[in-house]
Chain A
Amino acid sequence: MKKIKNMFRYENVGILFVFPAFLYMLVFVGYPIIRNIILSFQDVGAGNLVRGTKNFILFENYAELFGDSVFRISLFNTLKYTVLCLIFQFMIGFMLALFFNQRFTLAKPVRGILLVPWMIPVTVTALMFKLLFATDIGVINYILRSLHLIQKNIEWLTTPGTAMFALICANVWIGIPFNMILISTGLTTIPKELYESASIDGANKVQTFFNITLPLLKPTIESVLILGFIYTFKVYDLVYVMTSGGPVNSTHMLSTYSYKLSFEMFKYSKGSAVANVLLAILLVVGIFYIKITTQGEEE
């Protein structure tokens, strides 16, 4: 009994260690989340943001969103962008992971350098891809011209359909290293004996891939895709720098539209409502992620 009592005392010391960080997050993240929800039920504009009376208009902001065509475009764009980015960065990342998992001399050093795109500030990435996709001086147009695929330069970033394509390319470039390194790590956890016994049984490479690699990699694949979804879905900097949601709102995402409403049109409450829709979708996906990662957590 005495031991248990001591245990309780001992374990609770832990709170003292965690408390400062927790308090910090409560003040600078927890409180803003609540504040943002309240804001979305009010009518806050430039005049009454910091001071002044804020009237509650309840769900009016949200109701307004449903009639707002830009909001619908943003929601659809965000989904489309996320799904397409995920497909390509996952497939390319997977192939690279398999390739660099082979034991050749350059495998490790080259794979290491390939992580660089992931580390670069997104603003810089956006700038680099703006340069590549530039109409007159862009290399992409130059290559397409040289291959005689196009006669006239394409105005990538100022044409609705192609602007989205350029954004996806840039984001896939950032996402490839992330997918590659996580899948690589996943691959190393698969016991080698499985492959050996499979080859003794006469299985070919395709068979071992579908019967051993893929099933054993399932937890890794799940977390890569869910995390990828979360990171891609909340995209902000990349789109804001490359297109700012243009041309004619065709590349607006929930995050950039929310920013535009709040900080360019000063409709803070409506911007908050858009952000909350974004948050709600992320939370649903996040719950899946937490379920998966905490499964093996409990000791």
Chain B
Amino acid sequence: MDEEKKLTKNKNILFGIISVIILCALLFPLYWAFITSLKTEQEIFLNPPTFYPHVLNTKSYAAQVETGDFNMFRSFANSFVISIGATFIAVLLAVPASYGIAKYHFKGRKVMLLSFLVTQMLPVSVLLTPMFIMFKNIHVYNTWIAAVLADATIGIPFSVLILKNYFSSIPKDLEEAAYLDGCNKFTAFIRILIPIAKPGVMVCAIFSFLYAWGDLAYGMTFILDQERRPITAGIFNFMGQYGTKWSYLTAFAVVTIIPVALIFIFMQKYIVSGMTSGAVKG
């Protein structure tokens, strides 16, 4: 294959054009949702459809702040609190755990590693009812805490498995040098190893956040009151109530995507490494 050789100028342009066409085709659903959110309800029902808003309508965004019955910014804040909480727990627990698994060959290491692997594969269906009962019993049902606790269970195994690879790649000499300088195991871990594994920690934080941000099942099942539900559950509710108010629905969707888009724009390199190292190396 000729990947190694530089492509000729014409081929470069041709492939560039093809790639942009692929990009437009695949991202069309996103574009469509975005422009629908900026159309008036009448324009949405026009036939043939308009491929950009002829009359710019930002009411769908404004209306949801003004009218109290469905405040998407409150849902947004709920999602934010829940996701940050879940991320915090996941990173706090996964960083030391992955270090332990990567650097120490203690008894039961394999069992623990396996159990993290298995939990990554679990369907939510298995956990919903027992968690529901548990959260009722410890009186966190219908609060953010329930969703935080449940969402963290997605982030922890993922983070442990990713970070394990980062920690194993750090040479032992470095740690030993730290001991010579008077560090003990815990200070060496905090002062030397964590800073080196920082990109890995970022990957874990980002993915734990994204998992929690995208969660619907936990938020919907463990939180009853709309005022406390995450934004995904808000969208689902809204679809049931105003099934065809597409300008509102798509505005909701666009707001939900904003944090994802920001993460993508500013932290893209972590995304690729998270998607690949998490899957291939297990």
> 7 A-B pairs, CB-CB below 8 angstroms?
A18-B100, A24-B93, A103-B3, A131-B36, A195-B3, A236-B124, A278-B126
For A25, give its contact among B36, B115, B235 (CB under 8 Å). B115
Among A21, A227, A297, the one with the most B-chain Cβ atoms within 10 Å of its Cβ is A21
User: Is the C-beta of B187 less than 8 angstroms from some C-beta in chain A?
Assistant: no
Q: In angstroms, how far is the closest chain B Cβ from the Cβ of A226?
A: 10
For B108, give its contact among A15, A131, A262, A282 (CB under 8 Å). A15
CB atoms of A117 and B16 under 8 A apart = no
B94-152 interface with A by 8 A CB criterion: 94, 96-97, 99-101, 103-109, 112, 114-119, 121-134, 136-137, 149-150, 152
* Distance, CA A177 to CA B20, complexed state (A): 15
CB atoms of A127 and B125 under 8 A apart = no
Residues of chain B within 8 A (CB-CB) of A32 are: 126-127, 130-131, 134
User: Is the C-beta of A96 less than 8 angstroms from some C-beta in chain B?
Assistant: yes
- Name B residues whose Cβ lies closer than 8 Å to a Cβ of A: 1, 3-4, 6-7, 11-12, 15-16, 18-20, 22-23, 26-27, 29-30, 32-33, 36, 44-45, 47-49, 89, 93-94, 96-97, 99-101, 103-109, 112, 114-119, 121-134, 136-137, 149-150, 152-153, 156-157, 160, 185, 189, 210, 213-214, 216-217, 221, 232, 235-236, 239, 246, 249-250, 252-253, 256-257, 260-261, 263-264, 268, 271-272, 275-276, 279-282
Residues of chain A within 8 A (CB-CB) of B101 are: 14, 18
User: Is the C-beta of A90 less than 8 angstroms from some C-beta in chain B?
Assistant: no
* Distance, CA A294 to CA B7, complexed state (A): 39
Chain A window 94-128, contacts with chain B (Cβ cutoff 8 Å), 1 for yes, 0 for no: 00100111111111001011111111111111011
Chain B residue nearest in CB terms to A20: B93
CB atoms of B126 and A121 under 8 A apart = no
Q: In angstroms, how far is the closest chain B Cβ from the Cβ of A61?
A: 13
Residues of chain A within 8 A (CB-CB) of B29 are: 117, 125, 128-129, 132, 173
CB atoms of A263 and B23 under 8 A apart = no
* Distance, CA A15 to CA B210, complexed state (A): 29
* Distance, CA A114 to CA B29, complexed state (A): 13
User: Is the C-beta of A223 less than 8 angstroms from some C-beta in chain B?
Assistant: yes
* Distance, CA A24 to CA B123, complexed state (A): 18
Chain A residue nearest in CB terms to B99: A17
Residues of chain B within 8 A (CB-CB) of A240 are: 216-217, 236
User: Is the C-beta of A272 less than 8 angstroms from some C-beta in chain B?
Assistant: yes
User: Is the C-beta of A154 less than 8 angstroms from some C-beta in chain B?
Assistant: no
CB atoms of B27 and A185 under 8 A apart = no
User: Is the C-beta of A139 less than 8 angstroms from some C-beta in chain B?
Assistant: yes
Can you name 10 extra interface pairs (CB under 8 A) apart from A21-B156, A25-B156?
Answer: A15-B106, A17-B100, A36-B126, A102-B7, A114-B22, A132-B32, A142-B48, A240-B236, A275-B126, A293-B117
* Distance, CA A134 to CA B243, complexed state (A): 11
Chain A residues touching B, majority SS: helix
CB atoms of B280 and A49 under 8 A apart = no
CB atoms of A14 and B100 under 8 A apart = yes
Q: A115-B275, A139-B49 are in contact. Are A107 and B19 (CB under 8 A)?
A: yes
User: Is the C-beta of A28 less than 8 angstroms from some C-beta in chain B?
Assistant: yes
CB atoms of B18 and A99 under 8 A apart = yes
Among A32, A192, A208, the one with the most B-chain Cβ atoms within 10 Å of its Cβ is A32
CB atoms of A181 and B275 under 8 A apart = yes
Residues of chain A within 8 A (CB-CB) of B103 are: 14
For A107, give its contact among B15, B49, B100 (CB under 8 Å). B15
Q: A106-B19, A131-B33 are in contact. Are A255 and B153 (CB under 8 A)?
A: no
User: Is the C-beta of A164 less than 8 angstroms from some C-beta in chain B?
Assistant: no
Chain A residue nearest in CB terms to B168: A299
Shortest 9 CB-CB distances between A and B: which pairs? A14-B104, A17-B100, A293-B282, A32-B130, A234-B123, A21-B97, A121-B214, A35-B130, A275-B125
User: Is the C-beta of A79 less than 8 angstroms from some C-beta in chain B?
Assistant: no
For B125, give its contact among A181, A182, A258, A286 (CB under 8 Å). A258
Q: In angstroms, how far is the closest chain A Cβ from the Cβ of B253?
A: 5
For B156, give its contact among A24, A107, A282 (CB under 8 Å). A24
Residues of chain A within 8 A (CB-CB) of B121 are: 230, 234, 282-283, 286, 289
* Distance, CA A182 to CA B272, complexed state (A): 9
CB atoms of A220 and B280 under 8 A apart = yes
Q: In angstroms, how far is the closest chain A Cβ from the Cβ of B146?
A: 11
